[in-house]
């Protein structure tokens, strides 16, 4: 298979009038190569210690086989599959659905979907969204996949309780458990206990795989498989990327090169905002998945007191009319990673209807895909001419195999980047305080409500009139 190609030319000094990296620094013997070697050593120690469980997922044939069996079993009984999860428990499923299924999957006919179920991902306890979902689906024909490794995620547990009550209202008591599947820790947690007590089927999330690294576990594989995505191909692509990213040579290890260049862009070139700009609607959700992966893994205070980079998702050509003005003339604090994909086998030709109208004539006979790729190349060049660095990642066809490789590329790069920054990319201490305060405000036993300062009404501005 053809793995993604990382083009670093437009971040290097020869291509930019100012502010580029000296390519010699990335060569064997260069200081960035040596710096990465230290990060690679940290990576290998953590791999040996069993901390990097996501690297093993592409080779876990037992779990993949179990997922395929469960997907086939449930897929033929239900019209709708509803994933209840948040963060990494939801973003990965959405990214897979948008990238690998036909557009507007849930609105397509049964024939187009080949009688696979519709896939809904509820990743936020917004009552308006949840109410609308239950207006659209029949709980008697729906499977609810509850994803929480700990079984204590407040948002997911609340959604589960709502779904459980809705199902219980329309089916016999002994049938309720057949509408649920838990994806959780293999040994402990509230969902595991409940599943064992009630006979609810489960799929495991390995203990050494964190939520944002879990898309290639049961977390993402089950929603994908139930809709007919070839998970064997997905895992094969990821496995190939694991093998491609083993060495210390930056020129031969794409994840190493991506992590090192983005780290240097932040810490040396003062480019702390890392934009992932995908030139395909089907990769819009992938940019949001990247945003969580990069932000939650690296957004931490380093030993020098500085905080890690800020990821920013974007989609071309849409954001050429929304954000590129800022990229071009705003603060020089951004590096853009352009994500290019080959055509999906579908092209739409632009009709040559007005050959006498200059603003339209040149478009006649061209394809929309050709136009979109020209927009990407033009934006890349415009940034280069303003000495605004960018990287281009050519993802190939973005089919299941290529997409699996793309996922693994970013996951490995994230851990490498953690080593470069000197932070732990696997924890999220900044999230824990908000969780504890939420538990307290909702009245969970053992959590004390915070002392909130008295509100000064002078600074509550606005309100009703008349």
pLDDT tens digit sequence for 273-317: 999 999 999 999 999 999 999 999 999 988 787 889 999 999 999
40 is catalytic: no
What is the reported pLDDT for 367?
93
287: exposed, middle or buried (Cβ count in 10 Å: 0-12, 13-18, 19+): buried
Angstrom distance (rounded) from CA 182 to CA 202 = 5
Q: Is there a contact between 315 and 323 (Cβ–Cβ < 8 Å)?
A: no
Other CB atoms within a 10 A radius of the CB of residue 249 amount to 14
Q: Using the predicted structure, report yes or no on whether residue 407 has a pLDDT greater than 70.
A: yes
The backbone torsions φ and ψ at residue 339, rounded to the nearest 5 degrees and listed phi first, read -105, 110
Cα–chain center distance at 196: 31
Q: Mean of the per-residue pLDDT values for the chain?
A: 94
This prediction's pTM: 0.95
Angstrom distance (rounded) from CA 295 to CA 308 = 8
Strand order across the 390-394 sheet: 5-7, 390-394, 334-340, 273-278, 310-315
In percent, how much of the chain has pLDDT > 70? Answer: 99
Q: Nearest-5° angle of CA 291, CA 292, CA 296? A: 120
What is the reported pLDDT for 344?
67
Angstrom distance (rounded) from CA 235 to CA 215 = 11
pLDDT class of 465 with cuts at 50, 70, 90: low
pLDDT class of 466 with cuts at 50, 70, 90: low
- If residue 334 lies in a helix (H) or strand (E), which one and from where to where? strand 334-340
Residue pointed to by tokens 């009630």:
198
Q: Using the predicted structure, report yes or no on whether residue 351 has a pLDDT greater than 90.
A: yes
Q: Does residue 184 sit in helix, strand or coil?
A: strand
Q: Using the predicted structure, report yes or no on whether residue 363 has a pLDDT greater than 80.
A: yes
Active-site entry in 18, 62, 321, 445: 321
Other CB atoms within a 10 A radius of the CB of residue 254 amount to 22
CB-based burial, 323-354: b 16+ in 10 Å, e otherwise: bbeebeeeebebbbbbbbbbeeeeeeeeeeee
For range 190-203, the mean pLDDT: 94
Q: Using the predicted structure, report yes or no on whether residue 1 has a pLDDT greater than 60.
A: no
Q: Is there a contact between 377 and 359 (Cβ–Cβ < 8 Å)?
A: no
Active-site entry in 296, 300, 334, 411: 296
Beta bridge partners of 180: 144
Q: Using the predicted structure, report yes or no on whether residue 262 has a pLDDT greater than 90.
A: yes
Active-site entry in 44, 79, 394, 435: 435
Which positions ≥6 away from 108 have C-beta within 8 Å? 102
Strands (E), 180-271: 180-184, 202-204
Q: Using the predicted structure, report yes or no on whether residue 135 has a pLDDT greater than 70.
A: yes
For residue 441 the two structure tokens come to: 């405000």
The backbone torsions φ and ψ at residue 73, rounded to the nearest 5 degrees and listed phi first, read -65, -50
435 is catalytic: yes
Q: Is there a contact between 273 and 298 (Cβ–Cβ < 8 Å)?
A: no
How big is the chain, counted in residues? 466
The backbone torsions φ and ψ at residue 6, rounded to the nearest 5 degrees and listed phi first, read -100, 115
For range 332-338, the mean pLDDT: 98
* pLDDT tens digits along 46-81: 999 999 999 999 999 999 999 999 999 888 899 999
149 is catalytic: no
What is the reported pLDDT for 429?
80
Which positions ≥6 away from 403 have C-beta within 8 Å? 96, 99, 100, 234, 237, 395
What is the reported pLDDT for 259?
98
């Amino acid at each position: 298979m053809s793995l993604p190609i990382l083009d670093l030319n437009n971040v290097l000094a020869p291509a930019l009038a100012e502010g580029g990296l000296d390519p010699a620094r990335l060569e064997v013997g260069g200081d960035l190569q040596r710096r990465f070697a230290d990060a690679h050593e940290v990576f290998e120690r953590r791999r040996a210690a069993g901390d990097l469980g996501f690297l093993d997922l592409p080779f876990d044939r037992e779990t993949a086989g179990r997922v395929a069996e469960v997907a086939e079993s449930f897929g033929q009984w239900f019209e709708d599959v509803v994933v209840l999860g948040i963060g990494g428990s939801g973003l990965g499923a959405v990214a897979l659905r948008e990238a690998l299924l036909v557009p507007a999957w849930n609105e397509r006919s049964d024939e187009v979907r080949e009688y696979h179920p519709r896939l809904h991902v509820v990743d936020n306890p917004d009552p308006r969204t949840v109410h609308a979902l239950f207006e659209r689906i029949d709980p008697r024909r729906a499977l609810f996949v509850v994803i929480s490794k700990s079984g204590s995620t407040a948002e997911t547990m609340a959604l589960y309780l709502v779904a459980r009550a809705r199902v219980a209202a329309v089916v016999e008591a002994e049938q309720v458990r057949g509408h649920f599947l838990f994806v959780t820790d293999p040994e402990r947690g509230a969902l595991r206990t409940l599943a064992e007590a009630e006979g609810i089927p489960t799929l495991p999330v390995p203990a050494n795989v964190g939520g944002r690294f879990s898309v290639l576990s049961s977390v993402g594989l089950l929603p994908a498989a139930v809709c007919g995505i070839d998970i064997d191909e997905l895992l094969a692509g990821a496995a190939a990327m694991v093998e491609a990213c083993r060495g210390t040579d930056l020129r031969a290890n794409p994840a190493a090169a991506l992590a090192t260049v983005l780290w240097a862009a932040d810490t040396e070139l003062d480019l702390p905002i890392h934009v992932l700009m995908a030139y395909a609607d089907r990769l819009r959700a992938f940019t949001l998945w990247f945003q969580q992966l990069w932000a939650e893994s690296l957004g931490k205070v380093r030993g020098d007191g500085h905080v890690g980079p800020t990821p920013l998702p974007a989609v071309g050509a849409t954001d050429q009319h929304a954000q590129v003005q800022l990229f071009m003339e705003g603060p020089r604090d951004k590096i853009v990673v352009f994500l290019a994909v080959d055509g999906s086998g579908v092209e739409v030709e632009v009709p040559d209807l007005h050959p006498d109208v200059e603003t339209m004539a040149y478009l006649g006979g061209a394809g929309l895909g050709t136009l979109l790729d020209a927009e990407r190349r033009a934006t890349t060049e415009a940034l280069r001419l303003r000495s605004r660095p960018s990287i281009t990642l050519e993802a190939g066809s973005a089919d299941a195999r290529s997409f699996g490789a793309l996922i693994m590329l970013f996951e490995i790069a994230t851990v490498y980047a953690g080593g470069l920054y000197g932070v732990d990319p696997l924890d999220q201490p900044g999230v824990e305080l908000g969780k504890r305060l939420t538990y307290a405000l909702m009245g969970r036993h053992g959590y004390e409500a915070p002392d909130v300062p008295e509100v000064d009404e002078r600074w509550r501005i606005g309100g009703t009139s008349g």
